[in-house]
Chains A and B, each alone.
Chain A
Amino acid sequence: MSIIVKQVTQLLAGIIFMFGIYIILHGHLTPGGGFAGGVIIAGAFILLILAYGSSALRLKKEVAGSSNTESVGILLVVVLALVAMLIGARVFFFNFLPKGNPGELLSAGVIPLYNIFIGIEVAGALLSIFLALIIFKEESSK
């Protein structure tokens, strides 16, 4: 790709990443949530890969990183649900943190934490799928 595309993509990928984090964090106030923010973050990374070309050597380290990220994401979801069961309510997936006033950023108990963990998991999974396809394409056409 030409140098104009590479420079503009470098700027835009950062802005899209910040927008994805904003959508995840405000998931209980505005439309969005964990799934929408997670796919937007994956889209930012896919944009970077498409603009800067793909050489299989550099992308193999990325696969290890994104695979670990998605594993950590789903592990944290299950751990948070187990903590809710062990604290005292004896119910899996219980909303045990204080709820606060509806409409503020720190409200809705345990829901913002679930949004963040599910967002990490979805972004890691989609990035792993895309990287696997690109690395296979590069490796077998050599």
Chain B
Amino acid sequence: MELTISIILVFMIIGAIFALHAKDLLSAVITMGFVGFCLVICFLLLKAPDLAIVQIVIETITLVIMVAVVLDSTRQELKVPVDRRSIFNMIAGFIAFAGLFYFFSAAIETLDPLGVHSLRMAESYVNGAVEKTGSINLVTGVLFDFRAYDTMGEAVILYTAALGTLTLLRIKGKK
């Protein structure tokens, strides 16, 4: 399982690097869609069917929105001259990323390898969940009974984002 997910992750990294350096904006958007669909395969391999359904439909909707925006504006990428400032930015960025990578690899040394149960607190959720909540879908039981505050927070954020988009895209009528 670890080998399969690693190979898919290598494909995602190659796709992500290509999406950032593409000369055509439409190619970049379609490659981002490819990275999202690879994530769906990873979710199915990790035994998470709820997440796979949600991610595949949301990735399709995101692709439709981004292609509509890109085809309506401009399709070509800007021509950036490679001067001293951009090379200095890139080298400073790489040094910072090397430092971050070292700290991350030091931080995950206490994690168990993939497949061993890492989170001890979740056992208290799973053990009596069917009697306490009554639902046999454990993810729904956790979402709507044990952690209902998080669901309410998510609904409020979605509502605010929809209102914000409606406010941003308003055209004043001429009276």
Contact = CB atoms under 8 A, between A and B. Distances in A.
The answer to whether A and B touch in the complex, with CB atoms under 8 Å apart, is: yes
Contacts, number: 136
Task: Kindly state the interface size class of chain B when it binds its partner.
Answer: 35 or more
Given A46-B64, A78-B152, A130-B61, A28 B169 contact: no
A30 interface: yes
A139 B173 CA distance: 11
Task: Kindly state the interface size class of chain A when it binds its partner.
Answer: 35 or more
Nearest to B159: A74
A122 B143 CA distance: 15
Interface of A is mostly: helix
A117 B169 CA distance: 27
A136 B135 CA distance: 43
B65 to A, nearest CB: 6
A126 B53 CA distance: 16
B153 to A, nearest CB: 11
Nearest to B130: A102
Q: Which 10 A-B residue pairs are closest in the complex by CB-CB distance?
A: A28-B135, A99-B134, A108-B135, A108-B134, A31-B49, A93-B148, A125-B162, A136-B169, A36-B53, A39-B57
26 contacts: A27-B137, A28-B134, A31-B137, A32-B50, A32-B137, A35-B54, A36-B50, A36-B54, A39-B54, A40-B53, A40-B57, A42-B61, A46-B64, A81-B148, A99-B133, A100-B134, A102-B130, A103-B136, A108-B141, A109-B134, A111-B133, A111-B141, A111-B144, A114-B151, A118-B155, A122-B155
Interface of B: 49-50, 53-54, 57-58, 60-61, 64-65, 68-69, 72, 130, 133-137, 139-141, 143-145, 148-149, 151-152, 155-156, 158-159, 161-162, 165-166, 169, 171
